[in-house]
Amino acid sequence: MNFQNLPRSNKVVKKVFVPKRGAFSFFDYQQIEPRLFAYYCAKGLGDDEPARWFREGRDFYKEIAAQVFQKPASAIDDAERQDGKVWFLMSLYSAGPKKIALETGMKLSDAKAFYVQFHEGLPQIKALSNPPPQSQGGWREYEPGLIERVLQRRKYITTPWGRQLHPEEWGAHKMLNKLIQGSAADLMKLALVNVYAWQNDPTRPYQGSIASRMVLTVHDELDIDGPEDELELLHEVIPPLMGSEIIEAVVPLGVDHEVSVTNMADKVSYDEWKETAWQSAK
């Protein structure tokens, strides 16, 4: 089964999967796409503002909406925040006004107007990736983004760990998304290596063997199956192992921990599980 294509809301299929060792732990990177976007803004453009939002614990999507709607982040309501989030993520996937109008149900004229407003408020996206225009009129003021300039020089771009990413045929407009997703994939691979090494390190500062085992990755989530009495240890150890000195020198990474002792569908936060376990032990 391909868990990557399973909708988050599909609880029926997920209920089939139960922990064999006692409890599932789900470790999920927090907002990995915007954090990596902030990293590339700082490293590639010298623009530290998006990374500073994360370092200061501010709401990234509210800050984006504040730039677009030109008002303080404290004045952004939930609908405006959601607009900022949707447009930001779709822009990373190289969506233009037609695609966004189709996906959101907006009128094409409204989508075109908001597309201009959005990119004027968040110019870092086009500064990173601005593929050549498809119409002659668009060439008059066209300036390639950082990714296009790199591709012109050497036909590929690299992740922070040096992996080369090449554009597909007619796919240069997807390279920002490819860079973000490729970097997230490299980060997850690094996490798998670190967790495996910790599990099998005889010199680790925890006595005894570790029964918990990695069983699955889904998008930006690492899933572990292990005894319930190892959950506190996993909560302490795993998030730092999913970090990266390269990225965190610029923008902090966050990792959420959810738990299930029944099946993959019935997740609760680690804190909720701990409170329940503590009440049961009284």
Tens digit of pLDDT for each residue in 130-159?
A: 988 777 766 777 889 999 999 999 999 999
Tokens of 181: 């997703």
**Predicted structure pTM score:** 0.91
Give the DSSP letter string of 142-195.
----HHHHHHHHHS-EE-TT--EE-PPTT-GGGHHHHHHHHHHHHHHHHHHHHH
CA distance 224 to 83: 34
Give pLDDT, residue 2: 72
Locate the domains of the chain by residue range.
3-31+184-281, 32-171
Mean pLDDT over all residues of the chain?
Answer: 91
Tens digit of pLDDT for each residue in 32-84?
A: 999 999 999 999 999 999 999 999 999 999 999 999 999 999 999 999 999 89
Distances in Å between the Cα of 175 and the Cα atoms of 121, 154, 168 are 21, 14, 9
Q: Residue 208 — very low, low, confident or very high, per pLDDT cuts 50/70/90? A: low
Is the pLDDT assigned to residue 206 strictly greater than 70?
Answer: no
Question: What proportions of the chain, in percent to the nearest 5, are helix, strand and coil?
Answer: 55, 10, 35
The CATH code of the domain at 3-31+184-281 is: 3.30.70.370
Tokens of 149: 């300039």
Tens digit of pLDDT for each residue in 92-118?
A: 888 888 888 988 888 999 999 999 999
Is the pLDDT assigned to residue 7 strictly greater than 80?
Answer: no
